[in-house]
Structure 1
């Protein structure tokens, strides 16, 4: 006798009765989390915290950092092309620029890590 492996689709569903506006709210929350309605309800029902797919405040911070990197990279490019405007740049200035680029990259890494590994709730 064959033993069939149980799957979610082979078991009876849980029905949830709700008003149309409640359903819209639940569907909106699922979309905001980047999840299907079924996955969202399963996750919430098992007591897991739902986090949005994107933290817009952190995305704005990444955009700011990216702008900083662009400006720093532009300065470095000018120096590398022997542009007249950078003729007065000393080695110390270039080292400071490279250190600033590295610090900005580290800051970007910190923000990205906080998106991937969100802060624990208080």
Structure 2
């Protein structure tokens, strides 16, 4: 069965071609996928942005695990309860800030 896809051609200079190709590569996209996404107005995220988001999400998961450990400590050791609760609240605030930064990328 023949494909219903259409081809769009664009003439660019050598310099423009190099710039577009380099930008597509930074975004981990083929030249065709990059051109299609840009023409359709999709937001393009660079590989660095994607990697930064993954790293921040890993940090967020680490904070959540640390919070879980602190909660377990509260159950085992009541005399440090106030200190641990302050730490937990600080962790929650940092986690919220981190999530906001991740989703703004």
Which category of TM-score, normalised to the shorter sequence, fits these structures?
0.5 to 0.7
Give the structure 2 partner of residue 52 of structure 1: 45
**C-alpha contact 2:38 2:44 (8 A) present in aligned 1:** no
* Distance in 1 (alpha carbons) for counterparts of 2:38 and 2:3: 22
**What is the CA distance between 1:49 and its match in structure 2?**
4.6
> Secondary structure, in 3 states, of the residue corresponding to 1:17?
coil
- Which structure carries more helix by proportion? 2
**What is the CA distance between 1:92 and its match in structure 2?**
0.9
- Structure possessing the higher radius of gyration over alpha carbons: 1
Q: TM-score, normalised by structure 2?
A: 0.59
Structure 1 stretches lacking a partner, 5+ long: 81-88, 116-122
Q: TM-score, normalised by structure 1?
A: 0.53
**Aligned residue pairs: how many?**
93
**What is the CA distance between 1:33 and its match in structure 2?**
2.6
Structure 1 residues 50 and 91: alpha-carbon distance in aligned structure 2, compared to 1, 3 A threshold: closer
Structure 2 stretches lacking a partner, 5+ long: 74-78
**What is the CA distance between 1:39 and its match in structure 2?**
1.3
